[in-house]
Amino acid sequence: AFAEVLKHKCRNVRHLLRKREETIPWQKRRDGRR
C-alpha cells in the first residue's frame, strides 16, 4: 500500500510541475532538453 501512496504523490507532483511549467520558464527549458 505504501508504494501506491508514493505513486499517487509522484503523479500529483508531476501534475503540479506541469501547471508550473506554464508560469516558470526554467521548467520549460528542462522539458526542451529531453
Half-sphere exposure of 8 (CA within 13 A, CB side): 5
For residue 15, give Cα distances in angstroms to 6, 21, 23, 32.
Answer: 14, 10, 14, 17
pLDDT digits (tens, 9 = 90+) for 9-33: 878 887 777 776 666 565 556 655 5
The pLDDT assigned to 21 comes to 63
The pLDDT assigned to 7 comes to 83
Residue 21: CB atoms within 10 A of its CB come to 15
Q: In which residue are the cell numbers 508504494 written?
A: 3
The pLDDT assigned to 6 comes to 81
The pLDDT assigned to 30 comes to 60
